[in-house]
Amino acid sequence: MMQKEKIGNVWFYSESGETADTAMPPDIQQAARQMEEIIRSCKEEDYHAQITERRNYTVMYQLAESRANIVEWLHIPEHAKVLELGAGCGAIASALLKKGAGVTCQEENPAFARLNALRHQRLEDGRLTVYAMPYEQCEPHLADDYDMAVLVQLPAAHGEAQNLLRNLRRHLKPDGILVLATENKFGLKYWAGNKEPHTHRYFSGLEQDGVCLYSRTGIQKLLASAGFGWQEFYYPYPGHLFALDIFSDRHLPKKGDLAYSIANYEDDRLILFDEQKVFDSIIEEGQFPFFSNSYLCLAGMGSPDKQCQETVYARYAADRSRKFAVRTGIAGGRVWKYPIYPEGAAHILHMEQAYQQLSRQYAHTGLKFNRCIMHTAASQAPDGKAVAAEFEFIHGEALQEQARQAIAAGSLKKVFDILHQMVQYIRNGRNSRPFEMTPEFRSVFGETAQASVLEHAACSGVSDIDLILPNILVADDGTWHVIDYEWTFFFPVPQNFMIYRTLFFLHQENPQHKELSMEALLQETGIPAQEAQVYEQMEQGFQQYVTGGLVPYREMVNLLERRFMNIAALEAEYDRVMAENELLKGKGIWKAARKIKKKLTGN
């Protein structure tokens, strides 16, 4: 029998006699208790700090706001009626509710469902309804006029998945949309050594060993058989659970775009090859959609022209302080930047001033800054945000890619030519002034030790410290276009620090090249080693400023103590140990060691 209660302003339905705690494994029970502590004592903006402190994957998965990146970019009309299945503790529901939607959640785990209600209990009355039971039990009570249904993860049994999708279709309006996110059975990460998430075994999805996962073709057939006449695929990277980039068939990744592959938060992994290099080869062959780690599919029965999202690409810079968290999107042939949280509006608004002042400062150089147009009305931006910055979409090749190609071809001269040109632009920008330790400098870069080293450093009055190779595109006519200048400051910053950052990221990409070591690059650009030490401290201070002291989620792999087993390194270590054993055998020590082992172990 179904029971109905009110948790704050949330309607909560559960089965009689629910036994959430006893049905859960001890580690999940512990995670549930930790999450309840967090939800009861913290605001949502404080969850990140709590997640990194607890170092528990279940807590991260259920509470991290970045889980919602998979839907946050979607344009969802205010007051839309949304159904979410497998809602857990409400990470995705939270983003849907912030968009003004009314949400109905189904979650089989009663403890997680109750935490979802507790998390949102202060919402306006009636905005959220939670069913704490299997889908089959709550399905008869669901409405038949949802604007959207959200399903993150297909059931791992073919018949079950097909029946679920058919049933969901009946609960959507004729022009309703299904949002389906799931892993790709042929995702490159599974070839590269990640465990399959359902069985926690290597290659079980590829081998169809005890689990039914789907390829893009399989998902297309499954949706078509369930009555979804149109489908549009998107490609979350590095995966659909914690997406940083969302590509589409209208905007596929280019070589060099997929540089963040170590994201095995849930388990240990093998490292069989360099995923970035293999992805680059796959992209070159035009096979990325087949090998994408995950899929996000929009599907429906109505006209695809009306339902198609205008945004063709989204990138999240969310591992930051909330006042700096930004989503970049491509829509209508233009580039847009939005604050992810209301606190970030000022950061977006400052980009217009940065454009104007940088354009004046570098007007006599060959650097061109992508024009910024600010929108401060929700009706002016594609996704209805109240604050948005609009930029031209520049066609060109990034200096980073030109450098990569030159390095691969063994033409380091071209790399240094690029660096020398950039150095010339930075050091010849007008409005140069001497260094001054200002309060603004301290707030961004911290109390830099040995700041006296910078006493005679030439500074720019307006400083785009992110003037690095990926942020400069070269057009067909050879013009250098700066496409991103959000980290622009209006106080004296050493020009050599801007150059140092370019060198640092170039070296990080190419640590194996002696000619591109930091020592060699600093010498090439005339930056003294003592000065570079100060810039290293400044960079650390800047990263603290950007993150607000929080540990980025991308580093949670280390905090969760996930192991990476590099097969090539293990093979080399095995060969070394065997070679040592051969030497021991010749000296009679190996035989003695075996006798000792036999005594100790009986084997």
Band (212; pLDDT cuts 50, 70, 90): confident
Mean pLDDT of 149-159: 85
Q: Do residues 318 and 452 make contact, with C-beta atoms less than 8 angstroms apart?
A: no
Q: Is the pLDDT of residue 69 over 80?
A: yes
Helix (H, G, I), strand (E, B) or coil at 313: strand
Fill in the amino acid letter for 198: H
**Res. 600: pLDDT tops 60:** no
Q: What is the pLDDT of residues 280-292, one digit of tens each?
A: 999 999 999 999 9
For residue 399, is pLDDT > 80?
A: yes
Compute the distance between CA of residue 342 and CA of residue 381 in angstroms, rounded to an integer.
Answer: 15
The count of C-alpha atoms lying within 13 angstroms of the C-alpha of 394, restricted to the half-sphere facing its C-beta, is: 23
The CA R_g of the chain, rounded to the nearest whole Å, is 27
CA distances (Å), 16 to each of 19, 184, 479, 495, in order?
9, 37, 69, 68
Instruction: Map tokens 């970019």 to a residue.
Output: 73
For residues 536 and 543, the answer to whether their CB atoms sit within 8 Å is no
Confidence at residue 584, expressed as pLDDT on a 0 to 100 scale: 62
Nearest CA-CA partner of 143 in 122, 163, 172, 123 = 172
Q: Answer with the residue of higher pLDDT: 289 or 376.
A: 289
* pLDDT bucket at 415, cuts 50 / 70 / 90: very high
Q: What is the pLDDT of residues 237-264, one digit of tens each?
A: 999 999 999 999 999 999 889 988 888 8
The answer to whether the peptide bond before residue 236 is cis (omega within 30 degrees of 0) is no
> What are the structure tokens assigned to 289, written together?
């959609």
Q: How confident is the model at residue 450 (pLDDT cuts 50, 70, 90)?
A: confident
Predicted confidence (pLDDT) per residue in 543-594, tens digit: 999 999 898 888 899 899 898 888 877 777 777 777 776 666 655 555 655 6
Q: Identify the band that residue 77 occupies on the pLDDT scale cut at 50, 70 and 90.
A: confident
Residue 25: half-sphere exposure toward Cβ, Cα within 13 Å = 3
SS3 content of the chain, % helix, strand, coil (to 5): 45, 20, 35
pLDDT, residue 382, reads 72
Percentage of the chain beyond pLDDT 70 is: 93
CB 530 within 8 A of CB 450: yes
Yes or no: say if 328 and 336 are a contact pair by the CB < 8 Å rule: yes
Side chain identity at 125, as an amino acid letter?
Answer: D
pLDDT tier at 213, thresholds 50, 70, 90: confident
* Mean pLDDT, residues 428-446 taken together: 88
- The whole-number pLDDT of residue 22 equals 55
**In contact, 156 and 187? CB cutoff 8 Å:** no
| 410: Cα within 13 Å, side-chain hemisphere | 0
